[in-house]
Structure 1
Amino acid sequence: MKILRKLLVVSFVMGISTPLYAQEFTAENRVAVTGVAEDFEVANGGGYGARGMWCAAADYARTILGARGNARMFIAEGRTSGLGQRAPVRFTLDPTGLDPSPVFIVGASLRRTGASLSVDHAYQFCADARVINR
């Protein structure tokens, strides 16, 4: 019993000491977002495509990072085109080292480093999930 209690305490302490950036967040559209250093990654759109990925990134930026609606989100590392398993898209709030550009075609934006939307604009895509999941 004492060993079990010690294991529970150690597990609890280790869970608390896990850095925030290593934890996974589930956005309101049920898409997982993982904090990575100063950035955050979205692996898929949960059936909502690029709009679902931007929604999840915006929800993370608002909820976890406390970003304001007019803050800009940027693609820090875009998705490579091709068939098969795709790498996650890395988003950031820091445009340093990027060539920022506005998003005109949401699907294509995931492949373009520097593509940018405001947090509020991207969060509007969460309405897709709200309508579908009624």
Structure 2
Amino acid sequence: MKHLLCAAILACLSSSPAAADAFITNRGVRVLPVNDTVYEVVPRGSGGTWDYWCAAAEYARRELGAGWMDRFYVVRGRDVSVTTGRRSSVQFTLYPKRSGVEPKTGWLSLGFRTGESMSVQQGYGYCVNEPAL
């Protein structure tokens, strides 16, 4: 029975997306895939606006191979994480049409409304605006 319990716990831990697929940015923010086209930024604490945009850009560039001028889009604004259960996360995609997102046009607001976007290069700009603690 003891071995069965240990095996069950180990199986649960190893299948957790946070354990298996977490990408940690240079600033310590976790990014996890939700599905084939959507990824979720999960900062420490509630995270500032720059944490989300910076991490989403870094993941798009380093993990997904996006170019500097490629755009990434908000799929879902701040909400409970579907990958970790933490209270604050934002979901992004490089593929708005495949993710069911209608891209917004016009100036970017610094919130996280579905369809808002910026280039990977713009997102990286947020990586230097605030010092890492």
TM-score between both structures, scaled by the size of structure 1 = 0.68
- Kindly indicate whether the alpha-carbon contact (under 8 Å) linking 2:75 and 2:101 is maintained by their aligned counterparts in 1: yes
- Aligned-partner Cα distance in 1 for 2:102–2:65: 24
Residue identity (%)? 37
Equivalent residues in 2 for 1:30-49, closer than 5 Å: 30-37=28-35, 38-44=37-43, 49=48
- Kindly indicate whether the alpha-carbon contact (under 8 Å) linking 2:73 and 2:92 is maintained by their aligned counterparts in 1: yes
**Number of the residue aligned with 1:50:** 49
- Aligned-partner Cα distance in 1 for 2:34–2:71: 18
- Aligned-partner Cα distance in 2 for 1:45–1:104: 24
Deviation at 1:79, TM superposition (A): 2.0
- Structure 2 residue ranges without an equivalent (≥5): 1-9, 80-85
Deviation at 1:33, TM superposition (A): 0.6
Deviation at 1:86, TM superposition (A): 3.7
| Structure richer in helix, relative to its length | 1
Aligned residue-pair number: 109
Deviation at 1:99, TM superposition (A): 2.0
SS class of match (1:122): helix
Is 1:128 the counterpart of 2:129? The answer is yes
CA-to-partner distance for each residue in 1:80-121, whole Å, 9 max, x for gaps?
Answer: 5xxxx7442110000103221255321x2x1x1001101110
TM-score between both structures, scaled by the size of structure 2 = 0.69
Deviation at 1:51, TM superposition (A): 1.0
RMSD: 2.9
- Kindly indicate whether the alpha-carbon contact (under 8 Å) linking 1:59 and 1:123 is maintained by their aligned counterparts in 2: yes
Equivalent residues in 2 for 1:1-134, closer than 5 Å: 23-37=21-35, 38-44=37-43, 49-80=48-79, 86-96=87-97, 97-102=100-105, 103-106=107-110, 108=111, 110=112, 112-129=113-130, 132-133=131-132
The range that moved more, 62-71 or 38-47, is 38-47
- Kindly indicate whether the alpha-carbon contact (under 8 Å) linking 1:45 and 1:51 is maintained by their aligned counterparts in 2: no
